Structure 1
């Protein structure tokens, strides 16, 4: 097979195990949202704890005040018989809960000589923690009992009798923790609900503000994508002050890249004309010279080789390579039609049928000349070796997180294919697999250079449909 038949490009991907790519950093929006969410959660948590603790302290003060009022009510309603010193609790308690056994609200009065009076709710209950207090002395606090935790308030008094005697009494009112804990739990539930609702609202508001604040950056990314795809030439100039310097420098870089590429191509074109004209003159002089001219054949062969080398090296140097800022998106279908029509005329005697399988809207992000060189050399090689059929396949393969999809192009034929043991040999530039077939052995070497310039991969294997050779090119999106 012709040395135009190239094998796996040196730009091919390695088959060894490669380390996983580094994890992509969080976006600016994600960073801001995460930081704001953490700060907001910490702030609302501190506010919630502070409010809950304040409410608990207030509830404890309210409980103490309520129990003090009950003690005052009992003292004001008690009766003491002056003659006997007998003490009676009020007939009507300050709260009906004192009259219901096990209600959780208890009243106890103790004094000298084992004096002990209890409200109906306290009968049979254990108040072993209660002690007699000095007149004017008081106690308040929680205490753990077999009935559970109680909040109690006790106050010591001295009840004066008419005979100038006095009776020391200690009045205690206690209540189970259910009431105060129920109030605290209800307050905590309310705090959690309202603070959570406030947090969600603030996060949504923050996301809206972030989205609005980052709109210029998203606009830059969108316009960069348009420039990469060749749908626009520059970024817009209407940006906030903080981004103006960045966008102006990007536009300057785009212009500089395009101007440099244009100057490079023009210089190469001038060089091509400068070299080809002297070579053409030398060749024509040698061909007109007589057969007996010394060294005519050798010099003519060397001139012909120089001409081929100049053509190859200029084609290789003119390859633009992968462009970040494509000036235009080159469509495949129409150029493939033109190339195949030309090749069908050249190889009309072989009656080759070329079929297309091209994705709708498939385009090449690069120079049109590179596409024509790439596709033209692959198709010409297939036409040379095909018996009757050639297939051109072009596919787009979208890649996550990239604006452009990868491009996959293959050319298959029903010819003899390539033996594995000839892979390294035919890869060399200027070597033909079959000297009987016309060619200089540089066509697919140019293809390899183009693929390498675009950071792509060129592989050769057997056509699964035709059994001949299949040349597959993958060009990455970025």
Structure 2
């Protein structure tokens, strides 16, 4: 880009300087020729005052207006043309001047360059000024028409033009070089933000930077913002894929644990077959749910209401088999009118992860409370879900850390640390809130989910 702009600017600058040089050259020549014309005009006026003898011959001025008129072949010549002949200055003795015609009285002409043969015999050129005049003889009273011609060699003017051209192109060339250097500096300065963007992109590609900075000109902000948006989108997609795989693995953990516990319990073949069939259906539903969840950006706004108790019972039955050795008792306090307006898989993930966390930490009791939440006129009610246990609970200064993905409350307890992160993702998609505290009734942890109305 810089090279193209530099070439374009250079060609434009060269064309401009060429046109400027041509225009200045023509202007100088025109001015110089005007100066020659004025000078020859002044000489012509000096010879216009010449007297005439009785025989009609010319009596030139005693003092010539320029000494060159008296030096043969000097390059400055005077002619007075009459009807009966012509007079020439001493300088015209030797050179062969161009033919000089008579002009009407009052007519002025400036011609040139005209050819002549110099005193050395070599060809040359002259500028010629002619002035037609009319004089009256004082004795006879008759009128005498005559024409004064002043001729000057073009050599002097040519030398002036050549000197001017040499100086002109020397200065224009120097100015062109300076302007090209300035143009290069201006281009490098003006394109520096683009080079900075390229350098930042390279740092992002190498992992040295997380995104484009905001230290860019206003014109480049749409570009850098689009790049940052693309980078963020790609990172979110990668995180979503990772989370989906982790969530899927976490969801399949409970059915697999149920199967393992049934195998270790020595159940009969029919019981094992029935249990395997149940858990396989559940795992199939979980896989389908996680894939669908990964493909959509949020929950369905107009989902049919779902009864909560049947799903809660199914989850608790499986958990009681997994934690049969602990003998945990789960109690329900579910309002009959309470409904979940959303995806069935979201409800199962929400209840499953909260109840499994409670079973894992409880000593002997778990309490699930479900009730309708806030009511607004003309909108379906919200939902309040509370899961409590009688375990050790969570310290207040440790709550934020436990809710992070991949963090476990106790590293000695088996788990992946993503169950509560899944719960938070689901609650966030429903614009709800999750509050964690201590249970007043059981003394352990208390997880309270509040979903707003109108969803």
Length-normalised TM-score, structure 2: 0.48
Structure with the bigger RCO (C-alpha within 8 Å, sep 6+) is 1
**Higher Cα Rg, which structure:** 2
